[in-house]
Every structure is written in C-alpha cells, then in structure tokens.
Amino acid sequence: MSELAAGELLSAAAPLAGVSRVRLARNRQGIFWSYEAVACIPPGTTDSSREKAKALLEERRAKLDSWVTFLKAHADTDMSGFVSTDEATILRRRVELGVAVSATGSQANLEELSHFLGETPAEVQKDLDAYRSLRSAAVSDGRTGMPDLP
C-alpha cells in the first residue's frame, strides 16, 4: 500500500474510531464538509484527568488501527493484494459521505448531494449503496462505530 493510500485509510477510519467527526453542514450557499478532531488533551488538564484522557486516546488508537485493517481489506477492490491510492481514496470518500449523511439525517437529498459532490445522482446513490454494503460487512464482523444511513 502506498503512503498516500495509508493516509486515505487512516482518514476514513478516524470518524469510525471516534477520533474525528465529519459531517455535512448547511449555510445559505448550500452544504459543505465539516471536519472536527475530537481526540486531544486540552491544555491545563489536571494529572488525573490527563491519565483518563491518555487511556481514552490509547483505546481510540487501537480502534483506529483495527478500522484501518478492516478498511484495507475492503479497499482492495481489484483483489491484487495491494491497495492503490485510487482505491483508498474512493473508500475514504464513501465512508466520509456515509458518516456525514448519517449525521445530517434526511436534511440533504440526493439532488443536493449530487450538486455538492459534482456527481450524478446515480453516482451518489452508488457511493451510498457501497457504504451500506461496507457497513453490513462491518456489522457482520462485530464492529461498532459505523453509523447506519437514514
């Protein structure tokens, strides 16, 4: 796997492991991506709180590594044994889209998503269907953290 592919899979795994949030936000111009890191220790944290935060970060890191392993297996769509940057990018985008749509709920419709993503409604639907399939595989694997689509 290339370094770029590894980075793409790490980005895809982050919201599933609770390390970051990705969502679609809305303003007067339409919808846009919103990213937020949620796994950090704020300055001024007490020693006891810091230990709890470190333990939580270690737990999230283990989840992150586990999700990367799972996603890597599902990113290799040509079954070559090597995850290309393109394969990893497609998977990351699908995971981010699925997570964001699930957080947004029914507020973003297919036409609006299509316009925002610069894709046809059929392409967006294909990505959402691929996310559903990936989520089904994750649930079958006993994984939690990958939200269902509305």
* 34 bridge partner residues: 23
> 74 with 134: CB under 8 angstroms?
yes
The closest alpha carbon to 101, from 127, 75, 77, belongs to 127
pLDDT at site 108: 64
pLDDT at site 46: 73
CA–CA separation, 91 vs 2, rounded Å? Answer: 15
The closest alpha carbon to 100, from 40, 41, 27, 20, belongs to 20
How would you write the pLDDT of the chain (150 residues) with one tens digit per residue? 889 999 999 999 999 998 888 877 767 766 677 777 776 666 777 777 777 777 877 888 899 999 999 999 999 999 999 999 999 999 999 999 999 888 876 556 788 888 888 889 999 999 999 999 999 999 999 999 999 998
State the pTM of this model.
Answer: 0.82
pLDDT at site 31: 65
Domain boundaries, the chain: 3-140
pLDDT at site 1: 87
pLDDT at site 52: 78
